[in-house]
């Protein structure tokens, strides 16, 4: 894909690819492609063809089966931003049981470095760069350099990889760590008005220091001196959005035909929301509409295993028209 003389908008997703081994009720599936860069880019490339999609990542070659990239290679997704190294790639074991999940990190790819970003990306600013780390591979310094290079773009931030604490046994946990919380607050202040931040209920509660009232969790983010958009995804309970000077939005979740695999639903939500935001007039009503489309798109993802349950905007709109919400 060339960025020369581009006519459509551009979006870049930055973070690790992952090799996911999923265990569901003690049954182990064969390794599949994981990572938010995978789910986000595949979801968006299926949803619409009028946006240039690129990925920035650092991929370890030693344990990576390149057939995992077949789905992405068959899409119009720019992969020139991937750096390859003779190391093991980020690999997780996801163990699901009774609607809970244990996540274990087996291997970790190197951190992303600003100097590895292709020159053509630097010379042709996208509308938005989306930071979707898995295991702290994006530093504050990396964010700072992005902002210096692209002072006028929006920055999407997915909390998960910024907040995860990796224990010595590889188990991934969300526990209060003063340094991690301080770093995240610094990133929020650093990005300012151009920030669009998304986190799960667990992640947003951890960052807000609030364990019960969801409205209090959302109102916590109004303490920041900016006009950023904050999104909390709540699974079957939908999502909530807040911005300074606006009322809290409560967005319903849409009913799926069946629930097979919830992995990546938040990534689909975020990528579709950001796409719709880019093309909107940025009013709060338009943002509410973007969130409904994102919620409906995410409801398709859970109907299939792995990174495959993606649908076009046309099919998402049909699901919205039916208004079959999870009550």
Q: Hey, what domains does the chain have and what are their CATH numbers?
A: 10-319 (3.40.1190.20)
- Distance CA(231)–CA(243), nearest Å, equals 9
Q: Which residue has the higher pLDDT, 322 or 259?
A: 322
Confidence band (pLDDT; 50, 70, 90) for 42? very high
pLDDT at 116: 96
Helix, strand, coil % in the chain, rounded to nearest 5: 35, 25, 35
Q: What is the pTM assigned to this prediction?
A: 0.93
Under 8 Å between Cβ of 15 and 92: no
Question: Is residue 315 over pLDDT 60?
Answer: yes
Question: Is residue 5 over pLDDT 60?
Answer: no
For residues 209-244, b (16+ Cβ closer than 10 Å) or e, as one string? Answer: ebeeebeebbebbbebebebbbbbbebbbbbbbbbe
**Cα radius of gyration rounded to whole Å, the chain:** 18
Question: Is residue 1 over pLDDT 70?
Answer: no
In 86-242, the DSSP E strands lie at: 91-97, 100-107, 128-131, 154-158, 165-166, 172-173, 195-200, 229-233, 239-242
Q: What average pLDDT does this structure show over 262-288?
A: 94
Under 8 Å between Cβ of 231 and 196: yes
Q: What average pLDDT does this structure show over 304-326?
A: 87
Question: Is residue 3 over pLDDT 50?
Answer: no
Residue 199 burial by Cβ neighbours in a 10 Å radius (0-12, 13-18, 19+): buried
Could you tell me which residues come within 8 angstroms of residue 185 by beta carbon, excluding any fewer than 6 positions away?
207
Question: Is residue 4 over pLDDT 50?
Answer: no
Question: Is residue 277 over pLDDT 60?
Answer: yes
* Helix ranges restricted to H, 136-283: 140-149, 160-163, 178-191, 201-208, 214-220, 265-278
Q: What average pLDDT does this structure show over 10-26?
A: 92
pLDDT at 217: 97
pLDDT at 316: 95
pLDDT at 306: 65
Question: Is residue 149 over pLDDT 90?
Answer: yes
- Distance CA(297)–CA(271), nearest Å, equals 10
Segment among 71-75, 194-198, 279-283, 290-294 with least mean pLDDT: 71-75
pLDDT at 26: 80
User: In what helix (H) or strand (E) does residue 68 lie, and over which residues does it extend?
Assistant: none
Under 8 Å between Cβ of 288 and 246: no
Q: Which residue has the higher pLDDT, 257 or 149?
A: 149
Beta bridge partners of 312: none
In 8-72, the DSSP E strands lie at: 9-14, 18-24, 27-28, 32-34, 51-60
Beta bridge partners of 104: 93, 171
pLDDT at 6: 41
Mean pLDDT of the chain: 92
Q: What average pLDDT does this structure show over 115-137?
A: 96
Q: What average pLDDT does this structure show over 143-160?
A: 97
């Amino acid at each position: 894909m060339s960025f020369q003389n581009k006519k459509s908008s551009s979006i870049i997703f930055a973070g690790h690819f992952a090799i996911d081994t999923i265990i569901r009720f003690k049954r182990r599936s064969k390794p599949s492609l994981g990572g938010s860069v995978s789910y986000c880019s595949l979801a968006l490339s299926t949803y619409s063809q009028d946006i240039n999609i690129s990925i920035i990542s650092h991929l370890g070659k030693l344990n990576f089966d390149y057939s995992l990239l077949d789905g992405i290679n068959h899409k119009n997704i720019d992969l020139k931003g991937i750096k390859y190294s003779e190391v093991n790639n980020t690999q997780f074991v996801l163990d699901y049981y009774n609607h809970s999940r244990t996540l274990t990190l087996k291997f970790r790819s190197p951190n992303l470095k600003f100097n590895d970003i292709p020159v053509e990306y630097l010379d042709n600013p996208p509308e938005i760069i989306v930071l979707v780390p898995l295991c702290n591979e994006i530093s504050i310094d990396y964010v700072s350099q992005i902002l210096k290079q692209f002072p006028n773009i929006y920055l999407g931030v997915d909390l998960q990889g910024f907040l995860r604490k990796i224990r010595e046994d590889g188990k991934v946990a969300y526990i209060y760590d003063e340094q991690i919380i301080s770093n995240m607050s610094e990133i929020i202040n650093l990005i300012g008005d151009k920030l669009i931040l998304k986190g799960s209920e667990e992640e947003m509660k951890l960052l807000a220091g609030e364990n019960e009232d969801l409205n209090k969790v959302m109102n916590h983010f109004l303490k920041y001196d900016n006009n950023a958009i904050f999104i909390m995804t709540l699974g079957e309970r939908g999502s909530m959005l807040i911005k300074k000077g606006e009322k809290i939005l409560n967005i319903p979740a849409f009913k799926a035909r069946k629930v097979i695999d919830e992995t990546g639903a938040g990534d689909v939500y975020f990528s579709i929301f950001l796409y719709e935001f880019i093309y909107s007039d940025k009013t709060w009503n338009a943002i509410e509409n973007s969130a409904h489309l994102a919620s409906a798109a995410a409801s398709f993802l859970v109907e299939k295993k792995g990174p495959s349950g993606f649908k076009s905007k046309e099919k998402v709109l049909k699901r919205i028209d039916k208004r079959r919400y999870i009550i």
